[in-house]
Amino acid sequence: MKILWFTWKDINDPYAGGAEVVSNQLAKRLVADGHEVVFLVRGFPGMAKEEIVNGYKVIRVGNYHTVYWEAYKYYKKHLQGWADLVIEEANIIPFFCNWYVKEKSILFFHNLGREIWFYEMGWLKGLIGYLGEPIWLQFLGKKRDIITISESTKKDLVRFGFKKNKIKIISEGIEIKPIANLQIEKFEKPTLLSLGALRAMKRADQIFLAFELAKKEIPDLQLIVAGCTKGNFAKKVLAMIEESPFKDSIQCLGKVSPERKIELMQKSHLIAVTSTREGWGLIVTEANSQGTPAVVYDVQGLRDSVKNLKTGYICEKNTPENLSKKIKKALENKDKYEKIRLNAWQWSKKITFDKSYDDFKNCLNFNYEEKKISILKRALNHINFL
CATH number at 328 reads 3.40.50.2000
How far separated are the first and last CA of the chain, in Å rounded? 35
Q: Is residue 125 part of a domain?
A: yes
Q: Is residue 21 part of a domain?
A: yes
Residues 134 and 255 in one domain: no
Q: Is residue 77 part of a domain?
A: yes
Residues 343 and 357 in one domain: no
Residues 45-55 pLDDT 10s: 989 999 999 99
Q: Is residue 297 part of a domain?
A: yes
Q: How confident is the model at residue 14 (pLDDT cuts 50, 70, 90)?
A: confident
Q: Please give the backbone phi and psi of residue 192, each rounded to the nearest 5 degrees, phi first.
A: -100, 135
- The pTM of this model reads 0.85
The DSSP-derived string for 223-271 is: EEEES---SHHHHHHHHHHHH-TTGGGEEEEES--HHHHHHHHHH-SEE
**Stretch 120-147: mean pLDDT:** 87
The domain containing residue 77 runs over which residues? 2-174+352-381
- Give CA–CA dist 368/119, Å, rounded: 40
**Stretch 300-308: mean pLDDT:** 95
- Give CA–CA dist 367/108, Å, rounded: 14
- Give CA–CA dist 386/381, Å, rounded: 9
| pLDDT score at 201 | 92
| pLDDT score at 373 | 42
How many structural domains comprise the chain?
2
pLDDT exceeds 50 at position 378: no
Angle at 304 between CA 233 and CA 140, to 5 degrees: 75
Residues 170 and 63 in one domain: yes
